[in-house]
Amino acid sequence: MTATASLADRVVAGEQAAIARLLTRIERRSPGVDEVISALVRRAGRAHVVGVTGPPGGGKSTLVSALAAQYRRAGRTVGIIAVDPSSVLSGGAILGDRIRMSALAGDAGVFIRSIATRGAPGGLPRAALDAVTTLDAAGKDVVVLETVGVGQAEVDVITAAQTVAVVSVPGMGDAVQASKAGLLEVADVHVVNKSDRDGAARTVAELTDMLRLAPPAPGQWQVPVVSTVAATGEGVGDLIERFDGHRAWLADSGEGQRRARRTTAARIRWIAEQLVADRLRAGHPDFDRAVDEVTERGGDPVAAARRLVQRGLGAGAEDAAAGSDPPDSDPAGSDPEGSARR
C-alpha cells in the first residue's frame, strides 16, 4: 500500500515530478496505475475542466496557450492535457506545438502534457480522463483538455470535460460545417478563432442561425458564439467569462451533477471494456477454446462471444492479485520520460 499511496499523496501535494511520472504510467497503462487513480478520484472534483476541440487547423494549440496565459494573469493555476490521436503516424506534431508555448515554460503554475495511447478500446478516452483527474487532484484550478475532433475516440474524450468549446475558423464552408455535426452537438460555447480573417462575420452568423433553430428551454444554457484571435489574445478574456458563466450554470441547474454522473459512467464503462479486452488478449482459456471452435469447426462467433461475456471473465491471475496492492517497482524519480515529455 505504501508506495502506491505515496505516489497519490505526492500528486495531491502538487509535486511536478510525481505528476509527470503518473501521467507516463497512465499512458503506458503500467501495473498499479489503477489503484493510484482510484485513490485520486476521491480527491479530485475541485477543478473546472474545460474541453477545447474542433477540426485540425483551427489554431486550437494557440488558443489553449492564450487561455492559459490569461488564466495565469488572473492568478489561477492551469493544467493542459493535449490528446494526440495521430501519434501513430505524425508522432510529435502536437509536442512541437507545445514548444511554442515557451512563454509559459518557466511558470510552475502551468503543467502541460501531450498524451497518446495505442491499444485496448477506450484506451485514449480513459487515459485522457485519468490525466484530467490527476491534474485536478494535484490542485490545478482549471484543467484544459485539448483534442482534435477526428474519430470517435477523440469525440469520446470530451466526455471528461465539464464545459466544451468547439473551435471553428472562418471560411470552412457549409459542407464542412454540416459534417461537423458530431462535435456541434457537444458544444457549450462556440469559438470562431482567427476572427480577423475574411468571412469571420459570416461564420459567426451561420453558427448563430444554427443555434436559433433550437432555442434553449427556460433555465437551459444558451450556447454563445465568441470571436477570438488567439495569436493576439483578442477575445480570450471574454471566452473565459463565458466558461465561468457556464460553470456557474452547471452548479445552479443541477446539470453539473448530471455530467459528473455521465463522466463516472464513461469511466467505469471504459475500465470494464479494457478489462474484457485485456483478458481476451492475454488468452483466456475459454477464449482460446472459442477461437478453436469457430476456426476449426465452423462455430458461431456471435454465440461464442455471448457465452464468454455472459459467463463472466473473472477469476484470472489478475483478479487474484487485485486484492493486494501491486508493488510500485520503479524507485521514485527514476522515470526517464516523465519530466522530459512535459
> What number of other Cβ atoms are within 10 A of residue 121's Cβ?
13
3-state SS, residue 86: coil
Identify residue 263 by its one-letter amino acid code. T
Residue of 2, 75, 88, 108 that binds a second copy (CB under 8 A): 88
Give the one residue of 241, 252, 300, 337 binding a second copy; rule: CB under 8 A: 300
Least distance to a second copy, CB of residue 38, Å? 5
Q: Which of 171, 169, 167, 149 is nearest to 159 (CA)?
A: 149
Residues 6+ apart with CB under 8 A from 274: 29, 120, 121, 122, 123, 126
CB of 101 to a second copy, least distance (A): 21
Of the candidate residues 3, 5, 17, 41, the single one contacting a second copy (CB under 8 A):
41
In angstroms, the first-to-last Cα distance of the chain is 27
Q: Decide if residue 96 touches a second copy (CB under 8 A).
A: no
Q: Does position 301 bind a second copy by CB under 8 A?
A: yes
Among residue numbers 159 through 198, which ones bind a second copy (CB under 8 A)? 175-176, 179-180, 182-183
- CB of 223 closer than 8 Å to CB of 207: no
Taking the complex as a whole, how short is the minimal distance between the CB of residue 115 and a second copy, in angstroms? 14
Of 95 and 211, the one with the shorter C-beta distance to a second copy is: 95
Q: Which CB, 54 or 235, lies closer to a second copy?
A: 54
Q: Find out whether 33 and 26 touch, Cβ atoms under 8 Å.
A: yes
Segment contacting a second copy (CB under 8 A): 99-107, 203-211, 212-220, 312-320? 312-320
Residue 227 backbone phi and psi in degrees, to 5: -95, 135
In the window 258-287, what residues touch a second copy (CB under 8 A)?
Answer: 260-261, 264-265, 267-269, 271-273, 275-277, 279-281, 287
Helices (H), 138-191: 152-157, 174-179, 181-184
What would the grid cell of residue 267 be? 469511466
Number of residues interacting with a second copy: please give it, by CB under 8 A. Answer: 74
Place of cell 526517464: 336
Q: Check residue 5 for interaction with a second copy (CB under 8 A).
A: no
Residue in 103, 152, 241, 254 binding a second copy, rule: CB under 8 A: 152
**CB-CB contact of 116 with 27 (8 Å):** yes
Output the smallest distance, CB 82 to a second copy, in A. Answer: 16
Instruction: With residue 308 as reference, give the H or E element that holds it.
Output: helix 301-311
Question: What part of residues 192-251 is at the interface with a second copy (CB under 8 A)?
Answer: none
Among residue numbers 42 through 61, which ones bind a second copy (CB under 8 A)? 42, 55
User: Which CB, 74 or 260, lies closer to a second copy?
Assistant: 260
Choices 35-43, 62-70, 184-192, 334-342 (CB under 8 A): range interacting with a second copy: 35-43
Which residue in 109, 108, 101, 148 sits closest to 128, CA to CA? 148
State the amino acid at position 40 in one-letter form. L
Binder of a second copy out of 106, 215, 298, 331 (CB under 8 A): 298
From the CB of 187, what's the least distance to a second copy, in Å? 14
